[in-house]
Amino acid sequence: MRCTHLPLCALSLLVCGAALAADPPAPSFQKDVRPLLEAKCVRCHGEKVKKADLDLGTLVGVLKGGESGPAVVAGKPDKSPLYEKVHKGEMPPAKKDALTAAEVETLRKWIADGAKMPAGSVGGGITQHDVIPIMLRHCTACHGRHKQEAGLDLRTPAAMLRGGKSGPAIVAGQPAESLVVQRVSAGAMPPPKRLVEACVKPVEKSELETLTKWIAAGAPVVDVQPDVATTTPDTLVTDKDRDFWAFRPPQPVKVPAVRDASRVRNPIDAFVLAKLEAKGLTFSPEADRVTLLRRAYFDLTGLPPEPAEVKAFLEDTSPNAYEKLIDRLLASPRYGERWARYWLDLAGYADSEGKREQDLPRPHAWRYRDYVIRSFNADKPYDRFLMEQLAGDELADYRGAKEITPELYDNLVATGFLRMTPDATWANITGFVPDRIEVMADQIDVLGSAVLGLTMKCARCHSHKFDPIPHRDYYRLVAVFKGALDEYDWLKPEIRPGIGPESVDVAPPRLLSFVTAAERKAWEAQKTAGGKAPEPKIQAMWDRGEPSPTYIYRRGDYLMPGALVGPGVPSVLTDGKTPFEIRPPWPGAKQTGRRLAFAKWVTRPDHPLTARVMVNRLWRHHFGTGIVPTLANFGRTGVPPTHPELLDWLAREFQDPTPQPPPPRGEGEKNPRDPITGKDAREATPTFTPLPSGKGAGGLGSSPWSLKRLHKLIMTSTTYRQSSAINPDAKKLDPANALYSRAPLVRLDAEALYDSLLFVAGKLDETRGGPADAVQVRKDGLVTPAGTAKGWRRLVYVQQTRKQPATHAETFDFPQMNPNCIERRDSTVAPQALHLMNNGMVEQLAGEFAKRVRRDAGGYPARQVEAVYVLALSRAPTAEEKKLGVEALERLADAWEKQLTGEGVRDAAERKALATYCHAVMNSAAFLYVD
């Protein structure tokens, strides 16, 4: 113990000395301690306010302690927070409440003397809720929902009294006569030899004591309702807490007036320009058309344009050529492959379980990957997309359905969202309750970071230190998922004979043989024909209708269950008095409907975070930083938005789009007219310049929650269309581009680079979907995609295990999914240069690229250089570049020629020189960076 308050410490030593001399009787709780607590503590730690879940107003409350564990450890003042906090002066917080040295000493002595309570009160606090968790931890694997060995169910006091074949498990008031006490104290139960098999730990002495005391007290059952939000105002989260910008729904905002309205194409520009003008800046000039074309291609599809597409775009002189381009790109199936990847990062997608050495494959995970790609391509409204992933099993009666339709299939596959985190609970030794809780914590973390933009995980062990998220709210959220994710009734990832011995818990694995009727039929047909393809399954999450009770785990420790809580959502995101309403998803449903209620809440139009978090993420991928730079933390420790009004405007526009206007107007038109008033749109306050109706090509309507519409809105803005060149004013006044005075210069990420190398080399196999492509692991650890007959598929389709990611991906900052990745970091390190310069696959692709160039340009160096530029960089070389290229080809051919022998040496050398030249271009900054 350290002494931070010397005078106080000295004083208490003095008091101690005096005490030793006089040796007065130890303080009594009723007479000495209780009045003290009532005077100084219960204002905040009482029945009404109960901060940190601590009630010092009652005997039971003092014995129970708070969210961080017991307040008092009998006989050990140094280990008792009640004494420690008071002694160190940390509590009470207000100076006027400070305890006198004598009062502190009273506390110390009372605890040192064993923290004695009035007779009869000890044990009086023990209820069924102290005992049920013990049963869940040690007994219900064999005496519970799935199995009632010896006819015994130990989940509820009633069932304990009823007992099993050998009679009642408990006899109220008579611990010695109670079978459960007899068996446990004899060490017979749980059977020591079956502990690991059942993923159960032995009963601790203190647990047996609790059980004994409860029975001795007559096995009292108290009627405690789970703590849920009620109409009574919430005491733990105040209206002041709710007043933080991110916890208020997005506000209607007025589009600001700007000086140079000619640069405003849509309200985004007005918001951005207003800030620039305030700094004496304005937008950078518009990027040239080729630059814009490449930027749009990489942003939306992750691939460069084909030369023919470049040509067509440059020749299209219609005023809406650029809008049409965006529509085309959004309609391309490559769009989904590009944008699904960002979502897969958030979900923590991988084709393996992780955590254990074997890193077992997840052979069915790809179905979730394909679902995400499909959803992005279909422009599934974001609210629906979330609903399916959070509660797809509660959207429609999938079990009762006559036929598994593609829609039902998607509903269930979508729930794989919270099944993607690392998980080793398939093995007994790593499948104990705490291991399961870790998996659940990861899943809540994914939910919080991906969907809510909140650091929920802090509240797992204690109330959030910075955001108004009480410990309680975390466990309310846990309760929402309890129907599917239940640490006491666990669905294992998969029963794997020979690897993970089958558990005594007979719960099925979390794989469902649930695929569309068509796929099922096809599989059955091939099986009948002697085919050996494994049964198609999905990795899903589903409500089983009988969740175990949810207790707050004090300090996050499952051995310290606290208050019983019911399902609910973070109070600060609600008005604090509307109960969280849960209904069965349909009449007679077995499901609890908890997650459905949650999903409905998340997608409410007035939800403060859902839309903001998603538009911010989309913005990040188009501009390099988020309007809120901390993508997964909109709370108090996050970085506040640089453009709060813009964020809110986008969020509202995302959910509730401005109605579709009449036919499009061209960007080239000098004086855009307001479609409704017919006035010059540049006059007065800028209004929203309408989007062309995108029905058709891009499938863009004005449907709410449309991501494609949001892309188009962003990409047709002046803000997006700026050049990335830095002008001197911007360099001085907006060095970090926080005001968006230019477009960012962006390095291709792992996927875009890999896919582009294949694409330019003409070796991209565009077969979509299906099981992941294997990788080859070389002895030195180099991991390379195995490829297909036609070349290689896009990186999103390459097997991605947690322990052996493809070397290319790992080198270019492909993240480790532990459990997920919110934002990739772009590094610029030497191994990237080594990879592109020396790797065999890159070398091979350069050779393929050269062959392609040669087919187009024959053996003429100048034409070859032109073809290389057009194919790789979408433009013709400058005179300088052409000269450099031709000379380099000559020099390289000379160098190669010296190494070669035999006939046709010069021709062979020229071919090799071209391959080397292509290799250099594939390594060049011009290839890797998008302006």
Partner 1 sequence: MSARFTRRDLFRSVPGGIAGAALASLLAAESRAEAPAPFTDLKPRKPHFPAKARAVVHLFQNGGPSQMDLFDPKPELDKHHGQSYADKLAGEIEFVQSAGAIMRSPFKFAKHGRCGASVSDAMPHLATVVDEIAFIRSMHTTSITHEPAVYMIQSGKITPGRPTVGAWVTYGLGSENQNLPAYVVLDDPKGLPVNGVENWQAGFLPPQFQGTRFRSTGSPVLNLKPDAERPAAVAQAERDLLSQLDLMHKRDRPDQPALDARIASYELAARMQLAATDALDISKEPQRVQEMYGIGRGPTDSYGRRCLIARRLIERGVRFVQLYINSHIWDTHNNIATELKAACDRTDQPTAALLRDLKQRGLLDSTLVIWGGEFGRLPIAQLPADKDERKAGRDHNKNAFCTWMAGGGVKPGLTYGATDELGLKAVEDRVSVRDWHATILHLLGMNHEQLFIEQHGLKEKLTGVEEAHVVKGVLA
The distance of closest approach from Cβ of residue 358 to partner 1 in the complex, given in angstroms and rounded to an integer, is: 10
Measured between alpha carbons, how far is 266 from 867 in angstroms, rounded to an integer? 38
> What is the number of residues in the chain?
931
Measured between alpha carbons, how far is 139 from 145 in angstroms, rounded to an integer? 11
Residue from 146, 213, 803, 863 in contact with partner 1 (CB under 8 A): 803
Phi, psi of 311, rounded to the nearest 5 degrees:
-60, -50
403 near partner 1, rule: CB under 8 A: no
* 8 A C-beta contact, residue 36 and residue 106: yes
929 near partner 1, rule: CB under 8 A: yes
The distance of closest approach from Cβ of residue 430 to partner 1 in the complex, given in angstroms and rounded to an integer, is: 6
633 near partner 1, rule: CB under 8 A: yes
589 near partner 1, rule: CB under 8 A: no
Phi, psi of 149, rounded to the nearest 5 degrees:
-60, 140
Residue with structure tokens 């006089």? 22
Could you give the string, one character per residue 423-452, with x where binding to partner 1 holds by CB under 8 A and - elsewhere?
Answer: -x----xx-------x--------------
Q: How distant, in Å, are the alpha carbons of 170, 486, 528, 592, 721 from that of 481?
A: 32, 8, 40, 10, 44
Would the CA dihedral through 698, 702, 705, 711 be positive or negative?
positive
DSSP codes of every residue in 137-166? HHTTTTBSSS-BGGG---SSHHHHHH-BTT
186 near partner 1, rule: CB under 8 A: no
* 8 A C-beta contact, residue 699 and residue 708: yes
Beta bridge partners of 564: 551
The distance of closest approach from Cβ of residue 644 to partner 1 in the complex, given in angstroms and rounded to an integer, is: 15
Of 157 and 638, the one with the shorter C-beta distance to partner 1 is 638
The distance of closest approach from Cβ of residue 307 to partner 1 in the complex, given in angstroms and rounded to an integer, is: 20
Q: Which of residues 852-911 bind partner 1 (CB under 8 A)?
A: 880-881, 884, 888, 891-892, 895-896, 898-899
Which H or E element spans position 296? helix 289-301
* 8 A C-beta contact, residue 845 and residue 785: no
Residue from 524, 833, 906, 907 in contact with partner 1 (CB under 8 A): 833
The distance of closest approach from Cβ of residue 535 to partner 1 in the complex, given in angstroms and rounded to an integer, is: 30
SS3 sequence of 486-546: CCCCCCCCCCCCCCCCCCCCCCCCCEECCCCHHHHHHHHHHHHCCCCCCCCCEECCCCCCC
What's the CA angle centered on 502, arms 500 and 506, to 5 degrees?
135
Tokens of 177: 């006569």
393 near partner 1, rule: CB under 8 A: no
Q: Which of residues 62-121 bind partner 1 (CB under 8 A)?
A: 89-91, 93
Of 148 and 724, the one with the shorter C-beta distance to partner 1 is 724
Number of residues that bind partner 1 (CB under 8 A): 100
234 near partner 1, rule: CB under 8 A: no
Measured between alpha carbons, how far is 170 from 710 in angstroms, rounded to an integer? 62
The distance of closest approach from Cβ of residue 671 to partner 1 in the complex, given in angstroms and rounded to an integer, is: 35
Residue from 122, 782, 862, 876 in contact with partner 1 (CB under 8 A): 782
Residue with structure tokens 């923290």? 115
Measured between alpha carbons, how far is 27 from 104 in angstroms, rounded to an integer? 12
Measured between alpha carbons, how far is 163 from 877 in angstroms, rounded to an integer? 86
Q: Where are the alpha helices (DSSP H) in 92-250?
A: 101-112, 128-138, 157-162, 179-185, 205-216
Measured between alpha carbons, how far is 561 from 134 in angstroms, rounded to an integer? 10
Residue from 120, 828, 901, 903 in contact with partner 1 (CB under 8 A): 828
- Residue range at the interface with partner 1 (CB under 8 A); choices 15-23, 351-359, 683-691, 789-797: 351-359
Of 31 and 240, the one with the shorter C-beta distance to partner 1 is 240
Of 29 and 244, the one with the shorter C-beta distance to partner 1 is 244
Residue from 137, 143, 295, 355 in contact with partner 1 (CB under 8 A): 355
Q: Which of residues 547-586 bind partner 1 (CB under 8 A)?
A: none
Residue from 323, 601, 917, 930 in contact with partner 1 (CB under 8 A): 917
Which H or E element spans position 776? strand 775-777
920 near partner 1, rule: CB under 8 A: yes
The distance of closest approach from Cβ of residue 767 to partner 1 in the complex, given in angstroms and rounded to an integer, is: 27
Measured between alpha carbons, how far is 441 from 420 in angstroms, rounded to an integer? 13
- Residue range at the interface with partner 1 (CB under 8 A); choices 106-114, 611-619, 652-660, 722-730: 722-730
Q: Which of residues 23-62 bind partner 1 (CB under 8 A)?
A: 44, 51-52
Of 667 and 881, the one with the shorter C-beta distance to partner 1 is 881
Of 217 and 926, the one with the shorter C-beta distance to partner 1 is 926
Of 178 and 633, the one with the shorter C-beta distance to partner 1 is 633
Measured between alpha carbons, how far is 629 from 607 in angstroms, rounded to an integer? 20
Residue from 468, 483, 626, 690 in contact with partner 1 (CB under 8 A): 468
- Residue range at the interface with partner 1 (CB under 8 A); choices 70-78, 259-267, 385-393, 464-472: 464-472
Of 294 and 367, the one with the shorter C-beta distance to partner 1 is 294
Residue from 357, 529, 663, 670 in contact with partner 1 (CB under 8 A): 357
Of 170 and 921, the one with the shorter C-beta distance to partner 1 is 921
Q: How distant, in Å, are the alpha carbons of 283, 622, 741 from that of 721?
A: 10, 11, 11
Of 385 and 432, the one with the shorter C-beta distance to partner 1 is 432
Residue from 60, 724, 851, 876 in contact with partner 1 (CB under 8 A): 724
What's the CA angle centered on 796, arms 795 and 799, to 5 degrees?
80
- Residue range at the interface with partner 1 (CB under 8 A); choices 177-185, 516-524, 662-670, 803-811: 803-811
187 near partner 1, rule: CB under 8 A: yes
Amino acid identity for residue 486 in this structure: D
Q: Give the up-direction half-sphere exposure of residue 275: CA atoms within 13 A in the CB hemisphere.
A: 20
